[in-house]
Amino acid sequence: MPHVFISYARADEPIASLVADELREGGFEVWRDDEIPAHRAYAEVIEERISGAQAVVVLWSAEAAKSHWVRAEADAARNALTLVQATLDGTIPPLPFNQIQCADLKGWDGQRTAAGWRKLIGSVSELAGPTKPAADESRRATTRDVSVCVLPFQNMSGDAEQEYFSDGISEDITTDLSKISALEVIARNTAFTFKGQSVNVCEVAKKLGVTHVLEGSVRKVGNQVRINAQLIDGRTGGHAWAERFDRDLTDIFTIQDEISKAIVAALKLKLMPEEKKAIAQRETESAEAYNLYLLARQYWVTGNQGDMRREERVMRICGRAVEIDPYYARAWALLGMAQSNLRYAFRCQIDDGVVAAHSALTIDPHIAEARLPKVRRLEDRQQYAEAEAEMETALRLDPDSWEVNKEGARVFMRQRRFAEAASLLEKAVALMPADVHAWARLVTLYHALGANPAKKVAAESALGQAEKVLAQDPSNGAALSFGALAYSAIGQLDRAREWTERAMLVDPDNLGMRYNFACALAAHGGDKESALRHLERSLTTAGIFHINMAEADPDLDLLRDDPRFKEMLSRVKKRLGIDEPAAAI
């Protein structure tokens, strides 16, 4: 077990990494959550590591004070008498932690002589005991002599809605550079943890163990685009290359090619012929289709979960993109996912997305998300072995995809493999913290696993995200039902009833919402009668997708032996022509 556990908000990861590095150089064994094994559930590992730590360093900031995870970890450490606190920005720790001494690391840049650092290291030494000699080893195993992190380019357009374009540019440059065998490139998800932060490039390079950092900005106005890019030496902070591009939007691919080639030249790398060809290849040659895809992707990522207008908007935009370029695989894949959600999650009688997914895979068989509509169709046809094989392929192709992890969790949940489902959902919410649906599903899984501290954190996170959704759309029934489920999970049943009553007034015909109410009432309210009423209404138009969910969902375990529940499922199965249990594997 580690001597020292570090707790921090995601926005403070750069300074948390610096603290961890300095503690390691001081001879301490240090653990933080970037080391969670892929096969382990997040909450399980966190509880294990905190209980085994001799000192728990909590790094408070304005963001950390709002983090339910940080508060839960600090509370566990306080009870175990292993808590060591530091403030990164002058934020006073919240109650009851403000009654305990707190080191001041505001403005700390790694200097070991700083008063705040001396105070922190003294407390850690007192709790964790003698240190071992510091290991002389690299902080991150590298596979190349030259490595780079592409930081998210800043949106300088004066319009927040243009964020999709600057993010897309950053991702595409990362993809291009990843095709160069002599260059190690930090993954997009890691690089985007720095999005919106004012960072010291040398600290970023040190934290990630890279030799260079690429940063830049994008200004898009009408059909004109200006891109500033600079490649910085991570050791000296000096510029290895910098350039400004003022072009028409139609030249966007040429700009990306020029940036990649300039970086190769500045780093004195040698490209293989096939690498030159790979970099020059584009998923589309149409700047208009490319812009539409980036816009659709932004709606997909930031739109309200549970609001079918998100899917409808994405479907229209992607439909236009593939009209312009019928060979745009990514646009076909996103179109397929939107159609699949409308068909199965929202019960709309439209194409199930497999045709679009097939188009995507015909063009590019490596797009993991394009396999997800096929998973749902195979399940709908009760071909479960084939569906699982498709899901395994998707997870293998892109284990860092938000959509793939979330869908994989649903498949595992159908099999009642709750720990594995929770592990994938934990990765999904790490990739997309605003996903209120994923947080609510984590509440269900943690409840089934008996992980009560983690359930409380997930419920509070679900509530926080639901409130953000409702601030934009007060009539979002899905968000109201997720909030009611979360309130029920933490024992605030009166608040859960308030949210339920509000939802029934604003969106009474939302059948998915009624299903969530049934789950909340059965799992946390102990109200079988009300749960059965909501479930009966929810299953009136249910398909195999929904029956699978009801048969496996641990929130409904209270109802399993009730004859009315059995009869309800039997009627739906008879209507669907199902002879065997839909969830049988």
- Is the Cα torsion angle 560, 565, 567, 573 positive or negative in sign? negative
- Which pLDDT score, from 0 to 100, does residue 365 have? 95
Which amino acid is present at 245? F
- Which pLDDT score, from 0 to 100, does residue 459 have? 92
- Which pLDDT score, from 0 to 100, does residue 142 have? 55
Of the candidate ranges 111-125, 137-151, 254-268, 535-549, the one whose mean pLDDT is the lowest: 137-151
Structural domain includes residue 306: no
Same domain membership, residue 196 and residue 87? no
Residue 230 is part of a domain; what is its CATH number? 3.40.50.10610
Same domain membership, residue 573 and residue 444? yes
Which amino acid is present at 1? M
Structural domain includes residue 351: no
- Which pLDDT score, from 0 to 100, does residue 214 have? 94
Query: Is a pLDDT exceeding 80 seen at residue 99?
Result: no
Contact assessment for residue 332 and residue 359, using Cβ atoms and an 8 Å cutoff? yes
Tokens matching residue 305: 């979960």
Same domain membership, residue 194 and residue 80? no
Of the candidate ranges 159-173, 362-376, 415-429, the one whose mean pLDDT is the lowest: 159-173
Q: What pTM does this model have?
A: 0.69
Cα–Cα distance, 293 to 334 (Å, whole number): 9
Tokens matching residue 425: 């959902």
Same domain membership, residue 233 and residue 93? no
Same domain membership, residue 169 and residue 35? no
Structural domain includes residue 308: no
Query: Is a pLDDT exceeding 50 seen at residue 139?
Result: no
Average pLDDT over residues 138-165: 78
Of the candidate ranges 65-79, 267-281, 302-316, 348-362, the one whose mean pLDDT is the lowest: 267-281
Same domain membership, residue 502 and residue 468? yes
**pLDDT band, residue 50 (cuts 50/70/90):** confident
Q: Out of 235, 266, 282, pick the residue that ends a domain.
A: 282
- Which pLDDT score, from 0 to 100, does residue 138 have? 39
Give the range of the structural domain holding residue 460, as residue numbers without chain letter.
433-585
Exposure on the CB side of residue 54, measured as CA atoms within 13 A: 15
| CA-to-CA dists, residue 325 to 13, 287, 361, 395, 416, angstroms | 40, 10, 15, 28, 42
Same domain membership, residue 579 and residue 438? yes
Same domain membership, residue 177 and residue 122? no
Tokens matching residue 241: 């290359």
- Condensed to tens digits (0 to 9), the pLDDT of residues 426-480 reads 888 877 888 899 999 999 999 999 888 888 889 998 999 899 889 888 988 999 9
- Which pLDDT score, from 0 to 100, does residue 582 have? 46
Q: Out of 128, 163, 190, pick the residue that ends a domain.
A: 128
Query: Is a pLDDT exceeding 50 seen at residue 583?
Result: no
- Which pLDDT score, from 0 to 100, does residue 44 have? 66
Structural domain includes residue 354: no
Query: Is a pLDDT exceeding 80 seen at residue 576?
Result: yes
Q: Is pLDDT larger for residue 400 or for residue 289?
A: 289
- Block residue for tokens 């009668």: 529
Structural domain includes residue 16: yes
Average pLDDT, the chain: 87
Nearest to 545 by CA among 400, 377, 418: 377
Structural domain includes residue 307: no
DSSP E strands, 119-278:
146-150, 154-155, 183-185, 212-221, 224-233, 239-248
In terms of DSSP bridges, do strands 224-233 and 239-248 run parallel, antiparallel, or are they unpaired? Answer: antiparallel
Same domain membership, residue 254 and residue 206? yes
Structural domain includes residue 289: no
Contacts of 260 (CB under 8 A, 6+ apart): 173, 176, 177, 279
Residue 117 phi, psi dihedral angles, 5° rounding: -65, -40
Total tally of structural domains belonging to the chain: 3
Query: Is a pLDDT exceeding 70 seen at residue 34?
Result: no
Same domain membership, residue 581 and residue 518? yes
**pLDDT band, residue 273 (cuts 50/70/90):** confident
Same domain membership, residue 156 and residue 99? no
Average pLDDT over residues 258-285: 85
Residue 437 is part of a domain; what is its CATH number? 1.25.40.10
Structural domain includes residue 356: no
- Which pLDDT score, from 0 to 100, does residue 373 have? 98
Query: Is a pLDDT exceeding 50 seen at residue 489?
Result: yes
Of the candidate ranges 151-155, 193-197, 314-318, 424-428, the one whose mean pLDDT is the lowest: 193-197
Q: Out of 128, 157, 187, pick the residue that ends a domain.
A: 128
Average pLDDT over residues 535-550: 92
- Block residue for tokens 């709002």: 66
Residue 43 burial class via C-beta count within 10 angstroms: exposed 0-12, middle 13-18, buried 19 and up: buried
Of the candidate ranges 39-43, 276-280, 558-562, the one whose mean pLDDT is the lowest: 39-43
- Which pLDDT score, from 0 to 100, does residue 132 have? 46
Same domain membership, residue 229 and residue 120? no
Tokens matching residue 513: 């919402």
Cα–Cα distance, 420 to 42 (Å, whole number): 10
Query: Is a pLDDT exceeding 80 seen at residue 417?
Result: yes
Of the candidate ranges 71-80, 112-121, 533-542, the one whose mean pLDDT is the lowest: 112-121
- Is the Cα torsion angle 510, 511, 515, 521 positive or negative in sign? positive
Cα–Cα distance, 166 to 170 (Å, whole number): 6
